[in-house]
Amino acid sequence: MGGDIDIVPPAGPLARGATERKLVRADRYDRLARLIGHEELTPTGTVLMSFRVVDDKPFRFEPGHFVGIRAEVGEHGVRRSPYCIASSPNEDRTFRLLVRLVPEGPLSYYLAGLQIGDVIHFRGPSGRSMVPKETDTEVVLVATGVGVGPCLPLARHLLAQDPERSIRLYWGLRLVDDICMLDELDELARDHRSFRYAISLSQPPTGWTGLRGRVTESVPGLLKTLGDKSFCLVGNGAMTHELATGLSDFGVDERRIHEEIYFNVKHRPDPDVLEEIRERFVASDLFSPYAHQKAGLFMPETPVTASRRSRSR
């Protein structure tokens, strides 16, 4: 995240030759919101928190925007972390956050321990909108864990614009105990035939009838075509990097792949893992050596094994 240093002119007249602009440490986490709702959604540590903005500045955001929260957390000192807004824009100046309790994440515990009425300091909303620029594509949302948070408001936003637009949400979780928000997901699917979702468990219980495995294992084989789709990948950077690389290898324009990474930002996909993911793709509607090699239309002298995608992030 960016630092907290603003360049502001010093107050009062300037002496000749004085630096006309100087760096001043400024706390830009100067917005205030009050906790108005708090719900523990899973026994594995997922909490849904609702806030009302109580300062007098405008509060506008788009799906994918986040707020930066700053708090003094005991022996850990001042902590700052971003959280994606998990609700739709509204006139009430409220927003929701879907927070995962992270053992090494003191701010997540601080947030989960807030009481109704407590006030937090934040900045934003800011970030990149997740709304695809294309208006005529099917939208594929792939989320892991609390990455599902902004996907619901994004789906609602897109369906409000075009109720017929096909939207598929694939949600990767580890355990059946991690599942939550089913009422909202089911309601959206009930109200919109063009919205469908599927949950993929990496550690499914016996008798689980949903998708199995990590989303990088379960999703590529479900994508019969790629050229007619826009993708939003949200959550663990390992998932977003691996899937984005696979999609890119199969010819998807990178401008159609939005990655929103919550952690594992610097993850570098393992070449063997990438090779396994490529094996699972079935689409061959876009030109790419991988797609045509699999379809038997393109036979390079040596098999294509290395990623074409040089990811510098």
Q: Applying CB under 6 A, which residues contact ligand FAD?
A: 66, 79, 81-84, 97-100, 102, 104-108, 145-146, 149, 262-263
Q: Hey, what are 203's tokens? A: 């550690």
- Asked if 81 contacts 73 with a C-beta cutoff of 8 angstroms, the reply is no
Cβ neighbours of residue 136 closer than 8 Å, sequence gap 6 or more = none
- 49 - beta bridge partners? 38, 97
Closer residue to ligand FAD in complex, CB, 65/165? 65
Question: In this complex, which beta carbon is closest to ligand FAD, that of residue 146 or of residue 243?
Answer: 146
Strand, helix or coil for residue 183: helix
Q: Which CB sits closer to ligand FAD, 233 or 283?
A: 233
Taking alpha carbons only, the member of 202, 192, 246 closest to residue 222 is: 246
For 24, phi then psi, to 5°, come to: -125, 130
Of the candidates 211, 196, 202, 212, the residue with the CA atom closest to the CA atom of residue 178: 202
Q: Which is nearer to ligand FAD, 71 or 277 (CB)?
A: 71
Q: Which is nearer to ligand FAD, 84 or 291 (CB)?
A: 84
Least distance from C-beta 46 to ligand FAD, angstroms? 8
Cα separation, 227 vs 252, whole angstroms: 6
- What is the nearest approach in angstroms of ligand FAD to the Cβ of residue 87? 11
Which lies closer to ligand FAD via its Cβ, residue 79 or residue 309? 79
Smallest gap from Cβ 236 to ligand FAD, in A, equals 7
Taking the least distance from each CB to ligand FAD, the nearer of 112 and 176 is: 112
In 3D space, the residue among 130, 139, 258 whose CA is nearest the CA of residue 196 turns out to be 139
Cβ neighbours for 291, distance < 8 A, ≥ 6 positions apart = 250, 251, 281, 283, 284, 285
Q: What is the nearest approach in angstroms of ligand FAD to the Cβ of residue 20? A: 35
Cα dihedral value 220, 250, 155, 105, nearest 10: 70
CA angle 160, 163, 168 (to 5 degrees): 100
Residue 127 beta carbon to ligand FAD: minimum distance, rounded to whole angstroms:
6
**Residue closer to ligand FAD (CB basis): 176 or 304:** 176
Element (H, E) at 277: helix 271-280
Rounded least distance, CB 98 to ligand FAD, Å: 6
Residue 6: exposure state from Cβ atoms within 10 A (0-12, 13-18, ≥19): exposed
Q: How far is the CB of 128 from ligand FAD (least distance, A)?
A: 9
Residue of closest CB approach to ligand FAD: 105
Provide, rounded to whole angstroms, the least separation between the CB of residue 79 and ligand FAD. Answer: 5
Helix (H) or strand (E) holding 191: helix 182-191
Fill in the amino acid letter for 227.
G
